[in-house]
């Protein structure tokens, strides 16, 4: 019996909050994600066109007045110049990209490097520059002198057009690079992505007005711990519906021991399956529900957005940089995130099947965790500045005033904690 026979579409749900399954990535999108794919495809396209276009020149086109009209020597000179110039500029573009990545890593946070490499403008620029060089070389080999003089007019003209396109791409590249390393652009981009992660789910999914919310407690019986075996890395994905469906099929309850963003080493615990025995097939199915990778992602881990912003603020507050204004800008974006989180209830830990039975006990992030992450480290490193304590006070004032009652209590507790830890500089209870 398949899992689809057991649980119908839409029946697996989290009691409060969206289910939280990772977004499905099709093979087409997955193919184009790596940095090298787009430049390589553009370059291969240039090779193919560089082979076919001279044949069109020789056998189909003939002499055309408005295309390149130079002789063999001028064609060779132009193509040679294009090839040598484009490979030099390609090296320059690559060097600029490396410098920008190093600057972003040292000034902001190393966790931003992936966003720079994922830029289509950077990838396309490198592809166009490389393809211009390759195309010029491919056409150059077809230029013939002697008894069988042949100058591929259309091909040489296309090579010149590629140079003009490369110039336009170079301007776009410089503009993109200069904009992408501005601190306000960086933190706004991170915050916008985090807001989208926090706002996922419909109003019905976030409704916590259920009169009898489900609960679960461990019952006497066998339990088996599922480990990562030989796997290692960051928990990037947890396929909740997959886990619930197989738990219902096997009649067990899966209790997670990790959450997206955690690091798991070889034979590290992932979950406990209550009601299962060693050797049951459900243990392998549970392990398949986890995806380990090399780096954290925002898709199921909104705390990663907070982490990146806090890293930027900490570097700004370091003695070597001493830029509290940037830290305040980060607090402005953290304020934006906390206002979103404060208006929603915490996600429930319980995921139920179509019969309403708890099949998965999750460890979702909470407003309290996000508040701690947003405030504690910045408050510690910025306590001796003038701007940071004032901005934190204003942030807590606003969030406490608009938050749900349970979150307002969390903010009040945070204010009291800051008051005791930092001598009152970070907390003003308004009395």
Tell me the pLDDT tens digit for each residue of 221-231: 899 999 999 88
Please report the pLDDT score of residue 11 as a whole number.
80
Tell whether 387 is covered by a domain. Answer: yes
One domain, residues 226 and 130: no
Tell whether 17 is covered by a domain. Answer: no
User: What is the side-by-side strand order in the sheet with 233-238?
Assistant: 263-264, 233-238, 290-293
Q: Which pLDDT tens digit goes with each residue over 294-351? A: 888 888 999 999 999 999 999 999 888 888 999 999 999 999 999 999 999 999 999 9
Exposure of 196 by Cβ count < 10 A (0-12 exposed, 13-18 middle, 19+ buried)?
Answer: middle
One domain, residues 162 and 291: no
Tell whether 136 is covered by a domain. Answer: yes
* Parallel/antiparallel/unpaired status of strands 253-256 and 13-14: unpaired
Tell whether 268 is covered by a domain. Answer: yes
Percent of the chain with pLDDT over 90: 54
153, 181, 209 - which closes a domain: 181
How far apart are alpha carbons 119 and 125 in whole angstroms? Answer: 10
One domain, residues 160 and 232: no
One domain, residues 118 and 256: no
Please report the pLDDT score of residue 3 as a whole number.
37
157, 181, 205 - which closes a domain: 181
Domain that holds residue 368: 218-431
Please report the pLDDT score of residue 257 as a whole number.
95
Q: What is the CA radius of gyration of the chain?
A: 29
273's tokens:
């399956």
Please report the pLDDT score of residue 5 as a whole number.
39
Task: Identify the bridge partners of residue 338 per DSSP, sorted by sequence position.
Answer: none
Tell whether 195 is covered by a domain. Answer: no
How far apart are alpha carbons 274 and 253 in whole angstroms? Answer: 5
Q: CATH code at 315?
A: 3.90.1170.30
pTM reported for the whole predicted model: 0.82
Please report the pLDDT score of residue 95 as a whole number.
84
One domain, residues 242 and 308: yes
Tell whether 186 is covered by a domain. Answer: no
How far apart are alpha carbons 22 and 386 in whole angstroms? Answer: 42
On average, the pLDDT of the chain sits at 87
Q: How far is CA 413 from CA 108, 167, 361, 404, 410, in A?
A: 30, 57, 27, 14, 5
Q: Which pLDDT tens digit goes with each residue over 371-394? A: 999 999 999 999 989 899 999 999
One domain, residues 311 and 229: yes
How far apart are alpha carbons 375 and 313 in whole angstroms? Answer: 11
Which stretches in the chain have pLDDT values below 50? 1-9, 427-431
* Parallel/antiparallel/unpaired status of strands 233-238 and 269-274: unpaired
Count of domains for the chain: 2
3-state secondary structure the chain: CCHHHHCCCCCCEECCCCCCCCCCCCHHHHHHCCCCHHHHHHHHHHHHHHHHHHHHHHHHHCCCCCCCCCCHHHHHHHHHHHHHHHHHHHHHHHHHHHHHHHHHHHHCCHHHHHHHHCCHHHHHHHHHHHHHHHHHHHHHCCCECCCCCECCHHHHHHHHHHHHHHHHHHHHHHHHHHHHCCHHHHHHHHHHHHHHHHCCCCHHHHCCCCCCCCCCCCCCCCEEEEECCCCCEEEEEECHHHHHHHHHHHCCEEEECCCCCCEECCCCEEEEEECCCCCCHHHHHHHHCEEEECCCCCCCCCHHHHHHHHHHHHHHHCCCCCCHHHHHHHHHHHHHHHHHHHCCCCCCCEEECCCCCEEEECCCCCHHHHHHHHHHHHHHHCCCCCHHHHHHHHHHHHHHHHCCHHHHHHHHHHHHHHHHHHCCCCCCCCC
Tell whether 6 is covered by a domain. Answer: no
Please report the pLDDT score of residue 369 as a whole number.
96
One domain, residues 147 and 227: no
Q: Which pLDDT tens digit goes with each residue over 142-177? A: 888 877 888 888 999 999 999 999 999 999 988 888
One domain, residues 244 and 135: no
Residues 266/229, Cβ–Cβ less than 8 Å? yes
* Parallel/antiparallel/unpaired status of strands 358-361 and 350-352: antiparallel
The angle subtended at Cα 127 by Cα 126 and Cα 133, nearest 5°, is 95
Tell whether 356 is covered by a domain. Answer: yes
One domain, residues 101 and 250: no
One domain, residues 232 and 336: yes
Spell out the residues 6+ positions from residue 32 whose beta carbon is closer than 8 angstroms to its own: 38
């Amino acid at each position: 019996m398949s899992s689809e026979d057991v649980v119908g579409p839409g029946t697996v749900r989290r009691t409060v909050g969206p289910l939280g399954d990772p977004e499905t990535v099709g093979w087409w999108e997955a193919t184009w994600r790596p940095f090298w794919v787009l430049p390589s495809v553009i370059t291969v396209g240039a090779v193919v066109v560089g082979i076919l276009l001279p044949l069109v020149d020789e056998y189909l086109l003939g002499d055309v007045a408005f295309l390149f009209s130079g002789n063999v020597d001028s064609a060779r000179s132009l193509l040679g110049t294009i090839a040598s110039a484009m490979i030099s500029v390609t090296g320059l573009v690559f060097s600029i990209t490396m410098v920008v990545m190093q600057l972003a890593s040292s000034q902001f946070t190393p966790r931003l490097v992936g966003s720079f490499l994922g830029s289509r403008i950077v990838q396309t620029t490198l592809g166009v520059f490389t393809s211009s060089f390759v195309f010029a070389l491919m056409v150059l080999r077809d230029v013939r002198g002697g008894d069988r003089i042949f100058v591929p007019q259309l091909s040489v003209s296309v090579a010149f057009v590629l140079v003009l396109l490369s110039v336009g791409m170079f301007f776009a590249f410089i503009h993109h690079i200069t904009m992408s390393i501005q601190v306000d652009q960086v933190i706004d981009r991170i915050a916008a992505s985090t807001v989208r992660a926090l706002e996922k789910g419909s109003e019905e999914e976030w409704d916590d007005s259920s009169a009898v919310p489900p609960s679960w407690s461990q019952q006497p019986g066998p339990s088996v711990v599922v480990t990562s075996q030989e796997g290692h890395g960051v928990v990037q994905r947890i396929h909740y519906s997959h886990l619930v469906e197989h738990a219902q099929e096997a009649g067990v309850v899966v209790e997670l021991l990790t959450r997206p963003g955690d690091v798991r080493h070889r034979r590290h615990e992932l979950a406990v399956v209550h009601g299962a025995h060693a050797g049951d097939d459900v243990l392998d199915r549970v392990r398949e529900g986890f995806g380990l990778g090399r780096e954290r992602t925002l898709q199921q881990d909104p705390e990663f957005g907070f982490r990146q912003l806090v890293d930027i603020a900490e570097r700004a507050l370091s003695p070597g940089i001493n830029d509290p204004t940037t830290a305040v800008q980060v607090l402005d974006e953290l304020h934006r995130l906390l206002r979103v989180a404060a208006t929603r209830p915490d996600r429930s830990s319980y995921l139920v099947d179509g019969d309403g039975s708890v099949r998965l006990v999750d460890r979702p992030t909470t407003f309290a965790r996000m508040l701690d992450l947003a405030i504690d480290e910045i408050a510690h490193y910025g306590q001796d500045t003038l701007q940071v304590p004032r901005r934190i006070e204003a942030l807590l004032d606003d969030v406490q005033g608009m938050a749900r009652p349970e979150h307002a209590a969390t903010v009040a507790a945070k204010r009291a904690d800051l008051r005791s830890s930092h001598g009152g500089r970070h907390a003003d209870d308004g009395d």
